[in-house]
Structure formats: structure tokens, C-alpha cells
């Protein structure tokens, strides 16, 4: 998960143990870069490329066999909101396009690259949703029988 803030962007790469009845958190890898997406006003491609160092870290950490089933989400904050609707949309579209074209990680389908609502900033409300996405992705990737997953983690 990438937290794209006004002063910089951060990636949180979570490792879970998925062999029990429910996923268990093992550890997190964290990396940060300075300069938020909003500092790329008028340069959506540059904004998208600015996340490469974070995504390259994910490529180092996530084993190759799990990359295609490890989702990525980008949650932007207030800085991008201040640019206005058209400019922020251009940047978010460029970020999503670059993630889709350059990296093997699937972008979360619903609200995968978005500006968070102000009330959601600074909270880890997205973590449970992200854990569910990881579990579903890994179950599919490992060809597990989804019926054996706890109901709240089964794909719809």
C-alpha cells in the first residue's frame, strides 16, 4: 500500500502467514521518499515515475511467484486535493497507468488509486480491506480451495 502524502510517499509492504484459519501479520517493510505527488503539478508522468523507487522496493521484497497476486493501492492525501479536480485526476490516472504497465502487482480494482477522504487520513482503516485483498489474491495465486478460507476472507 502506498500512502502518497503532501510531503512524500511511503510504501507499506505487509507479510502475512496464510496457512492458518486466518492470516497472521508477520512483518512490515517500510520505505519513504520525499516530495509528494502534488509537487509534480503539470507533470503527471513525472509524478507516476516518482513512485518507482517504492515499487522497486516491493519488487525486491515480494517473491516473484507472489507478485501477480499481491495487490497494490495508492491512497493520496490533502496535497493532491489542493491541485484541483482535473490536475489531480491526471496525476492519479498516470500513476495507475504506470503501475499497470510497468509492475506485475495488480492495482486494487475499487478505489485502487484515489485521493482519500479527509476523514480517512492518518488512520489505518484501509488495512483490514487490504488484508482481505491480500488473502484473496494469495488464495487464488496458490490455487487454494477458497471454500476453506474463513467466510470473511472468501472472494465474492
Whether 121 is a known active-site residue: answer yes
What does each C-alpha distance from 16 to 22, 24, 125, 138 come to in angstroms? 10, 5, 18, 10
Structural contact between residues 8 and 80, judged by C-beta atoms closer than 8 angstroms: no
Annotated catalytic residue within 24, 31, 121, 129: 121
Tell me how far apart the alpha carbons of residues 98 and 92 are, in angstroms, rounded to a whole number: 10
| Residue 106: all three cell numbers together | 495488480
* Residues recognised as catalytic: 121
Amino acid at each position: 500500500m502506498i500512502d502518497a502524502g503532501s510531503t512524500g510517499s511511503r510504501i507499506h509492504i505487509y507479510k502475512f502467514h496464510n496457512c492458518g484459519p486466518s492470516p497472521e501479520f508477520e512483518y512490515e517493510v517500510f520505505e519513504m521518499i520525499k516530495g509528494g505527488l502534488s509537487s509534480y503539478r503539470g507533470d503527471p508522468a513525472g509524478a507516476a515515475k516518482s513512485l518507482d523507487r517504492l515499487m522497486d522496493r516491493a519488487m525486491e521484497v515480494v517473491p516473484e511467484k507472489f507478485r501477480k497476486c499481491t495487490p497494490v493501492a495508492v491512497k493520496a492525501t490533502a496535497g493532491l486535493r489542493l491541485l484541483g479536480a482535473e490536475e489531480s485526476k491526471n496525476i492519479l490516472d498516470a500513476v495507475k497507468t504506470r503501475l499497470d504497465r510497468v509492475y506485475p502487482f495488480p492495482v486494487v480494482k475499487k478505489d485502487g488509486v484515489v485521493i482519500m477522504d479527509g476523514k480517512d487520513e492518518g488512520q489505518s482503516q484501509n488495512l483490514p480491506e487490504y488484508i482481505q485483498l491480500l488473502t484473496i489474491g494469495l488464495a487464488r495465486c496458490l490455487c487454494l480451495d477458497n471454500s476453506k478460507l474463513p467466510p470473511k476472507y472468501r472472494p465474492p
